[in-house]
Structures are given as structure tokens and as C-alpha cells.
Amino acid sequence: MYNNLCSENLSRFLLPCLMCLLVVVLPGCSRRDADKSALPAMSDHEQVAELVTSLRAMPDWTGLPYGADAPEARSDIKRRGDAIASYETPVIRHAMKLFREEEWKKGGEEGFAADGKLLIVNRYLFALPPTIRRDSPHFRFFGGSWLCLPISGDPNEPAASDEMDMRWPWSVDEKGVWRLTESYGAFSGPSYQPLEAFDYYDEHFGRRQTRIRGK
């Protein structure tokens, strides 16, 4: 009787402690990270698959000739951006993760094209300010540099007052209408980290006001 009670009490005491140790000891792991990397609910798996399919079908912005109007491709990208924006944030993030992993497994060109699409999606989804000064903590590239990304000032003499265009390659007119107007030119440095950018923008700026399906 005593042994059974002792074992029962010990189990009740040790199990929560072991769970705490697992949470505290694992390096680089936090509840926040776990929440972001967790699979969406089973009911959302179909939506994730829809989004991955849409990202595959989105025209390759990095492959458009520099300065080309390409109205059909740009219009299709905008249409797909609107559709993507209608999904819940965790569903979009998981679809982006699966899509990027899938494309980078094919090779560098496909992976780079995927990152170009995800740059466009990130800049479209979140309520980013038009510009950010170089001395702001939000002045970030999340990898290398998109060389046509507008930054004011002299590139040879960076100043705190220099400003980065946070909506490029999109343009927003005085009526708030978004258009994909700019072209890819070149890229330099480590590969773009779209999920890092996604998480940062979500935390610090949040989503733009768009109609979420089912709400």
C-alpha cells in the first residue's frame, strides 16, 4: 500500500518536472518557436495545400526581363497575393515553409525564384511603413541585399538618415491601391530568409487589414 502510494506521488511530482526540464534545457527552443513551427490544425491542411499550389503557379518575378511591363504576369502575381492574404497567418507561414523547402531541394535557380515570390508575399501581407531609417532597429535585410531595393543617400557614405523603401517592389498610390511596379535586378550575399522576415514583420507590424476567409 505504502509503496503504491509512494510510486503514485513520485510519478505525479516527477512528470511535471521532467516536462519543465525538456522545455528549459533544449537549446534554441522556446514556446514561441514551437508555436510557429507547429503544423496547423487538421482542418487547415487543405488550405495549406491550396496555398502551396498557388505559390507554385505564381509567375516568377525574378525571371521577368528587367524593366518589362509584363502586365499579365504582374496582374497574376497581384491576384495571387490577394488570395494568399485571405488566409490565416499560421496557414500562410506553413505553406511558405513547405513551398520553400520543396523548391530549394530542386536546386539554386528554383530556390532563388521561390525566395523572390516570398519576398513579394511578405511585403504585401504586412502593415509595413512606407520607409524606415537606417538608424531604426527595423532596418533589416534578412539575408543578402536585393540590389534594386531603393535606399536614399550615398551608398558609399551610409548615413543614419538614409531611408529604405519597405514596400518595394510594390508601389502604393494615394488611393491605397497596390501595384507590382518594380523589377528584379540582382542579388548579393547570403540567401534571403523569408520565414525570418515573416515572423519579424508579424511581430512588429502585424497584418494589413484584409478580409480573412471564414470571418
The pLDDT value given to residue 176: 92
Instruction: For the chain, give every domain's residue range.
Output: 42-204
Grid cell digits, residue 42: 487538421
The answer to whether 100 touches 118, Cβ cutoff 8 Å, is yes
pTM of the predicted structure, to 2 decimals: 0.79
CA distances to 64, 127, 159, 164 from 123, in Å: 18, 8, 24, 13
Q: Is 167 exposed, middle or buried (0-12, 13-18, 19+ CB in 10 A)?
A: middle
The pLDDT value given to residue 210: 74
Query: What is d(CA 204, CA 160) in angstroms, rounded to the nearest whole number?
Result: 21
pLDDT band at 209 (very low <50, low <70, confident <90, very high): confident
pLDDT tens-digit profile of 72-97?
999 999 999 999 999 999 999 999 99
Q: How many CA atoms lie within 13 A of 59 on its CB side?
A: 17
CA distances to 67, 108, 212, 213 from 92, in Å: 29, 23, 12, 12
Q: ∠ CA 119-79-201 to the nearest 5 degrees? A: 30
The answer to whether 129 touches 167, Cβ cutoff 8 Å, is no
Q: ∠ CA 200-204-207 to the nearest 5 degrees? A: 90
Query: What is d(CA 208, CA 167) in angstroms, rounded to the nearest whole number?
Result: 12
118 has a pLDDT exceeding 80? yes
3-state secondary structure of 133: strand
Q: For residues 45 and 37, which has the higher predicted lDDT (pLDDT)?
A: 45
Q: Is 150 exposed, middle or buried (0-12, 13-18, 19+ CB in 10 A)?
A: middle
The pLDDT value given to residue 35: 52
Q: Looking at residues 58-66, what average pLDDT do you find?
A: 95
The pLDDT value given to residue 41: 59
The pLDDT value given to residue 6: 39
pLDDT above 70 coverage of the chain, percent? 78
Q: Are strands 131-133 and 170-172 parallel, antiparallel or unpaired?
A: unpaired
The pLDDT value given to residue 29: 38
Query: What is d(CA 157, CA 153) in angstroms, rounded to the nearest whole number?
Result: 8
128 has a pLDDT exceeding 60? yes
Amino acid residing at 201: Y
pLDDT tens-digit profile of 137-187?
999 999 999 999 999 999 899 999 999 999 999 999 999 999 999 999 999
pLDDT band at 3 (very low <50, low <70, confident <90, very high): very low
pLDDT band at 214 (very low <50, low <70, confident <90, very high): low
pLDDT tens-digit profile of 20-40?
333 333 333 333 444 555 555
